[in-house]
Amino acid sequence: MANSGIVGKSKYKIIKELIKNPDIINAIGSNISASTPEQYINKHIFNYHQNPFTIKEVMTYITIQIHIPRIEDKNKTFAKPTVEIWIISNERHMNVDNVPKITMNRNDYLAELIDRQLNNRSGFGLGKLMLVSNVEGALQNDYLYRRLIFECTDLNPSLCEVED
């Protein structure tokens, strides 16, 4: 089994990096004070895939999931964890009216900022975190998304276990 310890650690690290970035906080377009970005956690930035049906207000939020979909090589030495980030906005919140000179929609703008923040970064397993997918779509009538997938490499610790 791949090293599941990367799941919680990576989610925490990504959330901390996102809330420290004033451009990302501003682009979310919340009425929460930018001087207290920790309040964005579990309000606009979630470490699980939030259901838009449970959101009661017009807003934008980001969800972060970590997956270990496969073991990379035949010797089962390396896992390929993926970081999946969803930027989900109510259709009435797609216009970036709170950031001057931004003409793209909120999801595209946030995706660009997150890509700049995370792509080619080390500290997530071995090597660097690399963007492998960036797609958009609609979850339902009122919610649009942009989904970013980053991939990294991690050791599979099962080689250290004694097997009978």
In this structure, are strands 45-46 and 60-67 parallel, antiparallel, or unpaired?
A: parallel
Amino acid, res. 6 = I
- What distance in Å separates the CA atoms of residue 95 and residue 106, rounded to the nearest whole number? 6
Mean pLDDT for the chain overall: 87
- What distance in Å separates the CA atoms of residue 5 and residue 27, rounded to the nearest whole number? 31
pLDDT tens sequence across 41-68: 999 999 999 887 788 889 999 999 999 8
Q: What pLDDT does residue 1 have?
A: 35
- What distance in Å separates the CA atoms of residue 110 and residue 104, rounded to the nearest whole number? 10
pLDDT > 50? residue 16: yes
Residue with tokens 């579990």: 42
pLDDT tens sequence across 93-133: 999 999 999 999 999 999 999 999 999 988 777 779 999 99
Q: Global pTM?
A: 0.88
pLDDT > 60? residue 83: yes
- What distance in Å separates the CA atoms of residue 148 and residue 146, rounded to the nearest whole number? 7
Architecture of domain 5-160: 2-Layer Sandwich (3.30)
